[in-house]
A and B are shown apart, each in its own frame.
Chain A
Amino acid sequence: AQSVAQPEDQVNVAEGNPLTVKCTYSVSGNPYLFWYVQYPNRGLQFLLKYITGDNLVKGSYGFEAEFNKSQTSFHLKKPSALVSDSALYFCAVRDSAGNMLTFGGGTRLMVKP
């Protein structure tokens, strides 16, 4: 069975500093990996995805993620955090055989001025 782990319940970063939100996964076959962001009282918004190709994926709002096959990781990064980036972030994985998307438990990002 496929699974996703987000080891940090919360990440605290000062505005202007780089941020990383961690994600590791387990899946049979090739993984399709996704990051979503959720603002308070809103649905999930798609940020970026990795399907194949370049290991560094660029997405919305200046976010990027790095796929590392040997470490089975797909960490979300941003060079300079904004207070408005404060939200709940979810990593998700789908295997190549079906449409079932499995989510991690989420990481709350707090960016302080």
Chain B
Amino acid sequence: DAGITQSPRHKVTETGTPVTLRCHQTENHRYMYWYRQDPGHGLRLIHYSYGVKDTDKGEVSDGYSVSRSKTEDFLLTLESATSSQTSVYFCAISESISPGAQETQYFGPGTRLLVL
């Protein structure tokens, strides 16, 4: 899985509680992404980062925040988890030099989150 780890791999939590998922890479890639995977929707981008402290919103960012204080770590936080956030979350990395670059994204193993 291209030097990407995600923690935890599985989590069960209750509605209204905060949850933080961690993505760690050993590739020193500039770009990092958080996706969620739901049946019939493929993967949808939540947030991405193009450098330390540089982040931007994706397609489904409501209810999520991110932080990147080090090149190797990208955190996804659900401030107050809801049942609609039950999903499988994937982190991805790429080494893009400029917008439009052709770099491939490589994915971590995923975190399965269940919000009761």
What's the Cα separation between A95 and B33 when bound, in Å?
17
Q: Which residues of A contact B102 (CB under 8 A)?
A: 32, 49, 51
Q: Taking the complex as formed, is B104 at the interface, i.e. its CB lies under 8 A from any CB of chain A?
A: yes
A46 to B33, CA, bound (A): 15
Tell me, yes or no, whether B41 is within 8 Å of chain A by CB: yes
* Chain A residues near B40 (CB-CB < 8 A): 105-106
Q: Is the CB of A43 within 8 A of B90?
A: yes
Is A103 in the interface zone, CB < 8 Å from B?
yes
B43 adjacent to chain A (CB < 8 Å): yes
A109 to B105, CA, bound (A): 22
Query: Cα distance A103–B94 when bound, in Å?
Result: 16
Complex Cα spacing A45 to B31, Å: 18
A16, B94: Cα distance in complex, Å: 35
Question: CB-defined interface of A23-52 with B at 8 Å, one 1/0 digit per residue?
Answer: 000000000101010000111111001010
The verdict on A96 contacting chain B, using a C-beta distance below 8 Å, is yes
Check if B90 sits within 8 Å of A98, measured CB to CB. no
Pairwise interchain contact B42-A46, C-beta atoms closer than 8 A: no
Set of chain A residues within 8 Å of B94, measured between Cβ atoms: 99
Question: Smallest distance from the beta carbon of B55 to chain A beta carbons, Å?
Answer: 13
Contact A44 B107 (CB under 8 A): yes
C-alpha spacing A61/B109, complex, angstroms: 20
CA distance A92 to B102 in the complex (A): 13
Residues A34 and B42 in contact, CB atoms below 8 Å apart: no
- Determine whether the beta carbon of B31 is less than 8 Å from that of A99: yes
Asked if A56 is an interface residue, CB under 8 A from chain B, the answer is no
Measured CB to CB, the closest approach of chain B to A23, in angstroms, equals 11
CB-contact partner of A44 in B45, B59, B90, under 8 A = B90
Could you jot down 25 A-B contacts, CB within 8 Å? A4-B42, A36-B107, A42-B109, A42-B110, A43-B1, A43-B4, A43-B107, A43-B108, A43-B110, A46-B106, A49-B102, A49-B104, A90-B42, A90-B43, A96-B100, A97-B99, A99-B50, A99-B100, A100-B45, A100-B48, A100-B59, A103-B42, A103-B43, A104-B42, A105-B40
